[in-house]
């Protein structure tokens, strides 16, 4: 009997920023709301069921308009896990939060956004990544 496998390659069309911050997720969301004039709203937790290895749970905040979308995701699972790497993006496990921005332009272009994020007291370090170069980029497609 022949077995067919579906091999899908996703293209990520958003900018991805890794944030190092020791603050709680709701405090970081509030800080981003004030600094960037957004309205990030907490969404239901993002669940990743990894078949026999267990399940991972991540907090998720969203701000969406017709032209702009911000997603703030916690990189480490909030649920206890027996996995060695309970991360949403294990490639960049050094970062506490991930900020995905779709269609950012003008005041929220990548360079401007990097400067604004770096200036925040709640954020110790920021780095921009190419999401297409990440091994586990499928985890970031919502």
What confidence tens digit (pLDDT) does each residue in 46-101 have?
A: 888 876 677 888 999 999 998 889 999 999 988 887 777 788 888 888 999 999 99
Residue 12 pLDDT > 60, yes or no? yes
Q: How confident is the model at residue 138 (pLDDT cuts 50, 70, 90)?
A: confident
CATH number of 15-140: 3.30.310
Torsion angles phi and psi, residue 53, rounded to 5: -95, -5
Q: Provide CB contacts within 8 A for 77, sequence distance 6+.
A: 56, 57, 58, 86, 87, 88
Residue 30, CB half-sphere, CA atoms under 13 Å: how many? 5
- Determine the pLDDT at residue 125: 93
pTM of the model: 0.84
Bridge partners of 98? 18, 73
- Determine the pLDDT at residue 6: 61
Q: How large is the C-alpha radius of gyration of the chain?
A: 16
Torsion angles phi and psi, residue 134, rounded to 5: -80, 145
Q: Where are the domains of the chain?
A: 15-140
> Is the Cα dihedral 81, 9, 6, 46 positive or negative?
positive
Nearest to 33 by CA among 111, 99, 128: 99
- Determine the pLDDT at residue 105: 57
Residue 106 pLDDT > 60, yes or no? no
Q: What mean pLDDT is reported for the chain?
A: 85
């Amino acid at each position: 009997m022949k077995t067919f496998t579906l091999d899908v390659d996703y293209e990520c069309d958003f900018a991805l920023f890794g944030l190092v911050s020791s603050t709680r997720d709701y405090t970081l969301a509030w800080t981003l709301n004030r600094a960037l004039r957004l309205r990030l709203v907490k969404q239901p937790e993002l669940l990743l069921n990894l078949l026999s290895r267990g399940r991972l749970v991540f907090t998720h905040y969203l701000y969406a308009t017709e032209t702009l979308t911000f997603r703030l995701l916690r990189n480490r699972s909030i649920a206890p896990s027996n996995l060695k790497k309970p991360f949403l993006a294990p490639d960049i496990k050094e970062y506490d939060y991930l900020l995905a921005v779709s269609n950012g332009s003008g005041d929220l272009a990548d360079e401007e956004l990097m400067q604004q994020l770096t200036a925040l007291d709640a954020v110790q370090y920021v780095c921009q990544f190419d999401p297409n170069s990440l091994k586990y980029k499928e985890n970031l497609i919502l």
